[in-house]
Amino acid sequence: MQFSKETLKGVAEVIVLKSLEGDDAYGYELVTRIAATSENIFEFQEGTVYPLLYRLEDRGDVRSYESTTANGKTRRYYAITPQGKKLLRSRSNEYRSLISGLTRVLNFSYVV
C-alpha cells in the first residue's frame, strides 16, 4: 500500500529499529525483512532505508560494521544500540496510545 510521505515519516524509524531488534541486517536484507514482517504493507526502497539508517547512526540509535560473506562480498550491517532500544520502547508506547485513540475516533471495529 502506498502511504503519504507525512504518514510514513514518523513511523519509519520505529519500523527500522524494530526490524533490527532481533538480528543485525544489511540494507537490502532490512528492506525484505520489513516487507515480509508487514505482509508487504510496508515496502520500503533502499533509497528510503539507507538515509534513515545513516540518520539513526549519526544519533547513536544504531551502529554499523562491515562483515565479509561466505562468497567474499563485504557488506555493511546495522545493529540497534541500547539507546535505540530505549527509543524503540518509548515510541512503541506512543504509537500504542495513538492507535488506541485512532481506533476510537475513526470507529475501527477491528485492528490487528
Whether residue 22 is predicted with pLDDT greater than 60 in this model: the reply is yes
Whether residue 9 is predicted with pLDDT greater than 80 in this model: the reply is no
Whether residue 109 is predicted with pLDDT greater than 80 in this model: the reply is no
**Average pLDDT of the residues in 38-47:** 91
Q: For the CA atoms of 28, 13, 66, 46, what is the dihedral angle to 10 degrees?
A: 30
